Amino acid sequence: MESNEPLSTILPLLRSRGLRVLLLAAPGIMGAVAILTIAMEPNAGVAIVLNVAVGVIVSSALFLVVSFAAHRIADDRISLVKAGDEGHWKARTRLLAIQNDEDGLYTDWYFRLRVQEEIDRVTRYGTRFTLLLALPTRNLELDARGTSGLFFDRIRRHLRRSDLPAILKDGTLVVMLPQTARDAAVQRRLTKALAGGAVQIGVACFPGDGQQVEGLLEAAVRNAQEVDQASSAANQASLAGV
């Protein structure tokens, strides 16, 4: 807080007409009383001293009241600024967090960053990785984020330490499986754990299904839709055969 903060809070208080009258008129009133006392009683030195003393006391008291109010306003302003800064940094901290406190899933921005790093690494060393996407269907009563958290509970114990589970901004659960080809054992375990839930499961591999993060995610969504359509068609054919 700047050094002129009390002054900047005193000045608005001095705009009060009644306060200005008291501050400015009190010494004058006491001086006038002193002059009248001298005129009426030339030897009343004690009365003069008392009047002047009362004027000084009254003016000092008023000044102290104003100063106290000014400092209180300044302190309130400082508290508001600190509270605002604290709220801002808390919001920034939540925004920059790499994991959600509620479910332990990695955040959207961090997941995309790690996938891009994996793309660069795979391109350099000639390995591969897979994205497994679990898209909650629209008929769920729970919101997408909460639903993804429930699906994550199903697959948590099947994940390897190198795997990266995350939740995208739209609530989609996605897992990056480093050094994994399509239909790998870990992918089959995760797919089996998610089977039977109200979720569409899609897979995308790098290299092959896309060159960037967005392309891989779009390929995984298309795969999920194709698998869901094929499963629906197979069910309908089975029912028709029955």
List the chain domain ranges: 5-96, 108-241
- For residue 115, what are its two tokens? 């996938």
CA of 187: how far to CAs of 24, 116, 131, 160, in Å? 85, 20, 9, 11
Angle between helices 45-96 and 5-14 (to 10 degrees): 120
Task: Note the CATH architecture for domain 108-241.
Answer: 2-Layer Sandwich (3.30)
The residue behind tokens 């639903």 is 147
Region of residue 208 (phi > 0: left; psi between -120 and 50: alpha; otherwise: beta): left
This prediction's pTM: 0.57
199 with 135: CB under 8 angstroms?
A: yes
Strand duo 164-167 + 199-206: pairing: unpaired
How do residues 151-208 score in pLDDT, each as one tens digit? 888 888 899 999 999 988 888 889 999 999 888 899 899 888 887 767 788 899 999 8
More confident residue, 17 or 203: 203
How do residues 64-122 score in pLDDT, each as one tens digit? 666 666 666 666 666 666 666 565 555 555 556 788 777 788 999 999 999 999 999 99
